[in-house]
A and B are shown apart, each in its own frame.
Chain A
Amino acid sequence: MIQVRVPRIPGHTLLHGPQTEPLTVSEHQRGRSTFGLNETPHSGGIMGALLAILYALVALSPLIFVALLRMKGEMTLMHEVATSLALAAYAIMALQPVLASRWKWIERPFGFDVVIRLHRYMGAFVVLLLLCHPPGMAFGGAGMGLLTNIIQPWNVWVGRVVLILLILQVVISVGYARFGMTFEQWRRSHNFLAVLILTGAFIHSWWTAYDLGPIAMQLLWLALFGLTIFAYVHHKVLKPRCLARRAYRVVGVEPETHNVWTVKFAPPAGERIYEYQPGQFHFITLQRLGGLPVEEHHWTISSSPTNKDFISSTIKESGDFTSTIGKTNVGDTALLQGPFGRFCYTLYPEDKDFVFIAGGIGITPLMSMIRHMRGTSKDANVLLIYANRTEKDIAFRDELAQIESGSSPRLKVIHIVSSPESGWTGESGHLDRDKLVQLLGRQGEQTAYYICAPPGLAKIVIESLRSIGVPYARMRTEEFML
């Protein structure tokens, strides 16, 4: 199987790299589910299907209610369709904070990347639905004044402002980097606009919609708005407070390369590290002294769950915030929220042999898996193809060589650098199709391929594997984007 992960560098989207957020798959470790639930690795299918159906039902609940109440429309067909689109849009909007709330029972069956992608897709869909709403109402009998007249009731103006804010929200989310915004600035503006949009949408519909006359519709509207508020407050207020009461301590900050650092965290005294699977990621809020920025970022867990002393993330200096990561000190505190993701070999017990393909910082989730294999003495063949720009960019080089000299797993590491310096005797060049075919050699049909690299490289790798007959079913790819 191939798993592609996307490491996140502020302002960019990467496909699996050291600075990434791994999306993981969970496994049963020593007879106990480390995913937190007693689920089989593939049980997410049923739960996922149920959640998908539930999502569709809630999104369509206003239309279902109107149909069950047999509510006669006010005007023309076009008017009623435009109304229905707005009703559905409101319910979908109400579910947006739920998708982004990081509830594990929602994330677990799909992976965080899938849930966040759905959040994005639905945001764009809501905009399209609501762009149809005013013209549909106007042409459907409400009159062109709805579109052209400045003098309108205040509740109509609230709807207009909400639509403008919604468009602004989507435009900023798609292109915040092009507007010179940092990831943190985008996140703050996104949260602020979300509050305005959701509140405004509720106010507009509550004071405008003829369909909210029946008490059942009013209760549904209040329930949807309540769900929105609860998801938002839980995500932004309750959960952070809960995490703050169980803040982790930084117990180690170690350089891996000239610009990559491993930060180790230990739980509060008397508590255990939360259970996770190799390859998963978590959100970290570093609380450091010296005026260093306090921001939440998501990074792959690079340690193995078999290590009970600490949990670590390996972070590359690649942005304003991460450039300060080496200034983190032992004794600093951090809020850790996790684990998330489905990029984990332990979720696929049928996989016996592996090809891991990493680009740059994309090595981190694969390193977690390799360490886990070593910690559990896994009987498996693992070929690691690790691409970097230069030799000095190679992280974990000594540890990989040490594991390679062992027998469980039977690890073979191939380093490839694109800009070799004098004295480099390993593979060199870009990891294109021909090079990949050469390095892969002969692989069995059941070999699983896990890919974690920047998007460009990951795309090349996936297309190359497809061209030599590796089916998607044996590739597990995972993107991480926010």
Chain B
Amino acid sequence: MRLKKLKIFTVFFIILVLIAAYVLGLLRTYVFKPPPSSAVVPCTVFMAKKSNGLEPVGCSDPAFRG
């Protein structure tokens, strides 16, 4: 009986892990959004000295140039 319960638990556990992995994969692919902080791309910001102080004039990341 104990071994039978073990086999039942093992099968249940394996199915649980596989389902959990798949569901989590779905959530991470289609549901979860990147946190706001991850939208910030590390880059070098080029500053220029203007009359009213320092002012950004460019960025090393091409997506933010211009």
Q: Produce 1/0 per residue, A64-92, CB < 8 A to B.
A: 00110011110011101101110010001
| Known contacts A60-B20, A72-B32, A72-B33, A476 near B25 by CB under 8 Å | no
Contact of B28 among A72, A110, A121 (CB under 8 A): A72
Give the contact-size bracket for chain A. Answer: 35 or more
| Known contacts A66-B28, A72-B34, A478-B2, A84 near B20 by CB under 8 Å | yes
Contact between chains at A80 and B29 (CB < 8 Å): yes
A73 to B5, CA, bound (A): 36
Asked if A473 is at the interface of the complex by the 8 Å CB criterion, the answer is: yes
**Max chain B Cβ within 10 angstroms of own Cβ: one of A73, A111, A479:** A73
Asked if B14 is at the interface of the complex by the 8 Å CB criterion, the answer is: yes
| Known contacts A476-B1, A479-B3, A80 near B28 by CB under 8 Å | yes
A72 to B17, CA, bound (A): 20
Give the contact-size bracket for chain B. Answer: 20 to 34
**B30 contact set on A, CB distance < 8 A:** 77
**A472 contact set on B, CB distance < 8 A:** 1, 4
Contact of B24 among A66, A76, A117, A125 (CB under 8 A): A66
Contact between chains at A80 and B34 (CB < 8 Å): no
**B57 contact set on A, CB distance < 8 A:** none
Report B22 CB to chain A, min CB distance, Å. Answer: 6
Asked if A129 is at the interface of the complex by the 8 Å CB criterion, the answer is: yes
Asked if A118 is at the interface of the complex by the 8 Å CB criterion, the answer is: yes
Within A446-474, the residues touching B (CB, 8 Å) are 472-473
Asked if A20 is at the interface of the complex by the 8 Å CB criterion, the answer is: no
A392 to B21, CA, bound (A): 58
Contact between chains at B2 and A73 (CB < 8 Å): no
Contact of A71 among B3, B20, B26, B28 (CB under 8 A): B28
Identify the closest chain A residue to B38 (Cβ).
Answer: A72
Identify the closest chain B residue to A60 (Cβ).
Answer: B20
Contact of A129 among B5, B9, B17, B24 (CB under 8 A): B17
A84 to B17, CA, bound (A): 9
Identify the closest chain B residue to A475 (Cβ).
Answer: B1
Asked if A56 is at the interface of the complex by the 8 Å CB criterion, the answer is: yes
Contact between chains at A70 and B2 (CB < 8 Å): no
Asked if A170 is at the interface of the complex by the 8 Å CB criterion, the answer is: no
List, sorted by A's number, 7 A–B pairs whose CB atoms are closer than 8 Å. Answer: A59-B13, A67-B24, A73-B29, A80-B25, A80-B28, A81-B22, A476-B1
The 9 lowest CB-CB distance pairs between A and B, nearest first, are: A73-B28, A81-B25, A84-B21, A80-B25, A72-B32, A80-B28, A77-B29, A72-B34, A70-B32
